[in-house]
Structure 1
Amino acid sequence: MITFNANDRILVTGASSGIGKAIALQLNALGATVVASGRSQQRLEEMRAQCAHPDALFLEPLDLLTDMDALPSWVRSLREQYGKLSGLVPCAGTALISPLREFDRTMATSFFDIHYTAAMLLAKGFADRRNNVGRGAAIVFIGSRAPLVAQAGLSIYAAAKGAILAATGVLSKELASVGIRVNALAPGLVKTPMAEKTYLSFLPEERRQEEIASYPFGLGEPEDVASMAVFLLSRHSKWITGQTIVLDGGRY
């Protein structure tokens, strides 16, 4: 059975909704100390109201794009406040369907900022030996299956997620010597508020049912992704690093 203790301090961004919320709640239920970040204080408080151990879940509201260059220093400030971190899950992000005719440089830059640049700056802060526990520490990036299986209209989203998947293997090599494992998850379509708002709600009912039927085991739940993230953060995965794990209910 996977368990954590209070000294397992794990930072989860994007923790106010969807997959990030599910990860924060599962970690908290299993005994970890969770530092949960998101843009909305209210939604973070609503999330904490659902957790098993409120005294072990700390809220740190922040818009990661406001001052990205300060993110490594922000991670250091969290270590100073809560103690050295054992895990990092950069989960903040959004989705986008945009064909080539609508390509916009500003929009593309914004997507890379939240999905790749912010995640890398958080990883940089976490990897500072003063901020992590050393051997046993782990980073889990949340990617997507989109870079692995081409789908029309997802060039910006797939490229941004593909960048973080590519970085996963590289960072696993760089950080192995200091005992930090680095892995990524590549989920298919998961039933989150973001997926509904940015994709499913735009599909005609017939197309919507076709999309759902294309997943042999149905669409994913946030908890399905959270369970694998929790495993990769735990001691049970101590021999796993540099991997991208696809979670798509058999659609791949």
Structure 2
Amino acid sequence: MDMMSMLTEQGRREAEAVAARPVTRLLDHEGRTAVVTGAARGIGLAIARRLAESGAHVLMADRRTVDLERARSSLPAEWQKRISTMEVDVTGTPHVAALADYAVERTGRLDFWVNNAGIFPPSGPIRETQVEVLDRIYEVNIKGVYVGCREAARHMGRGAVILNVASIGAIKGQAGMSGYSASKHAVLGLTRSLAMELGKDGIRVMAIAPGLTVSPGNEELLDSIQQAGHKLATLSAPLGRFNLADDIARVALFAVSDMAAMMTGQLLVVDGGTTV
């Protein structure tokens, strides 16, 4: 049997259309709309920057308007006309729903949703862990991502992509970080389950697992590692350095692009080989 005859007619047309496009067009997102949470700094800002560079309309969301406007103004002027901002707390379900609605009202479509907002406070030794700390981690890192996926999926159609920012904590243990690690395992499980559920609608769901990344958001984590007596040099990767935020952003751009059109439910690890 001819392999192409095993595809649905719609699947065949989509596969042939992607295969016929030059590589530069596979990374061209002109006319598409993206939402990035936690976009005011670090990995979120880097992802928003690369999506805007690729031609997408980008809606940057974070908790403080002043931080968002500062981030937006740091981008090239020619991109700023394609970028808007919205103050959003991802733990507030109505806020996330309003974010998705606004993205669609603004451009008439929603193609990419990046659940980047998250927190990573050390939960400490399990015998000393305060439940209140766990509640906050799970509220942001699990509930926030879950609701983001739900609200995005309400507006998405074929070819759309949800990208969840997980962590190497989803595949590698770390003493004193059990609460955070558990939350990122949940993100990975959610990604895989939604890939199965939404695949029939042509929606891909992917996850990315950064290793230790040098960014404004992780000074507290780096300090806690040093205070715990760990030498940062011992945590470095075979490639000899920690991630920069743009290392993550470039892989994120690949994950949502048609370069990865046949990938869903997968975790892309970006850690320079730390977990090898």
TM-score (norm 1): 0.92
Say how many residue pairs are matched.
247
Measure the CA separation in 1 of the matches of 2:271 and 2:114. Answer: 20
Shift of 1:245: 1.2
Alpha-carbon distance change, 215 to 191 in structure 1, aligned in 2, over 3 angstroms: farther
1:201 CA drift (Å): 6.1
CA contact (8 A) 1:212 1:218 kept: no
Higher helix share: 2
User: Are positions 1:85 and 2:110 aligned together?
Assistant: yes
Q: Do residues 32 (structure 1) and 56 (structure 2) align?
A: yes
Structure 2 residue 216 is matched with structure 1 residue 193: yes
Contact kept, 8 Å, 2:65 with 2:87, in 1: the verdict is: yes
The correspondence for 1:139, drawn from 162, 169, 173, is 162
Partner SS, residue 3 of structure 1: coil
Give the superposition deviation at 1:193.
Answer: 1.5
* Superposed displacement of residue 96, structure 1: 1.6
Segments of structure 1 that go 5 or more residues without pairing to the other structure are none
- Give the % identical residues: 29
Which residues of 2 match residues 51-90 of structure 1 at below 5 A?
51-52=75-76, 53-65=79-91, 67-68=92-93, 71-90=96-115
- How far is the alpha carbon of 1:80 from its aligned partner? 2.2
Contact 2:236 2:274 in 1 (8 A): no
CA shift for structure 1 position 105: 1.6
**Partner amino acid for 1:87?**
F
Q: What root-mean-square deviation, in Å, do the aligned CA atoms of Structure 1 and Structure 2 show?
A: 1.9
- Confirm or deny: 8 A CA contact 1:215 1:248 kept in the other structure: no
TM-superposed CA distance for 1:209, in Å, is 4.0
- Distance verdict in 2 for CA 1:115–1:212, change over 3 Å: same
Matched, 1:243 2:275: no
Describe how 1:175-194 pairs up with structure 2 within 5 A.
175-194=198-217
Q: Does 1:221 align with 2:251?
A: no
In structure 2, distance between residues paired with 1:245 and 1:103: 30
Asked which structure has the greater CA Rg, the reply is: 2
Measured at CA, do residues 250 and 13 of structure 1 come closer, stay the same or move farther in structure 2, by a change above 3 Å? same
Tell me the CA shift for residue 142 of structure 1.
0.2
TM-score by length of structure 2 reads 0.84
- 1:99 aligned residue (118, 125, 135): 125
Q: Deviations over 1:156-179 (max 9, x none)?
A: 000011100111111000000111
For the residue of structure 2 that corresponds to 1:203, the secondary structure is: helix
Q: Which residue of 2 aligns with 1:174?
A: 197
CA distance in 2, matches of 1:141, 1:79: 20
Q: Contact 1:95/1:194 (CA < 8 Å) preserved in 2?
A: no
**Stretches of structure 2 lacking an aligned partner (at least 5 in a row):** 1-23
Aligned to 1:117: 143
Deviation at 1:223, TM superposition (A): 0.3
Distance 1:110 1:175, change over 3 A: same
Cα-to-partner distance string for 1:130-184 (whole Å, 9 max, x where unaligned):
x22x111001100001121111011000001110011111100000011100010
Return the letter of the residue paired with 1:124: R
2:35 to 11, 14, 30: 11
Q: State which of 221, 224, 231 in structure 1 corresponds to 2:254.
A: 231
1:70, distance to aligned residue in structure 2 (A): 5.2
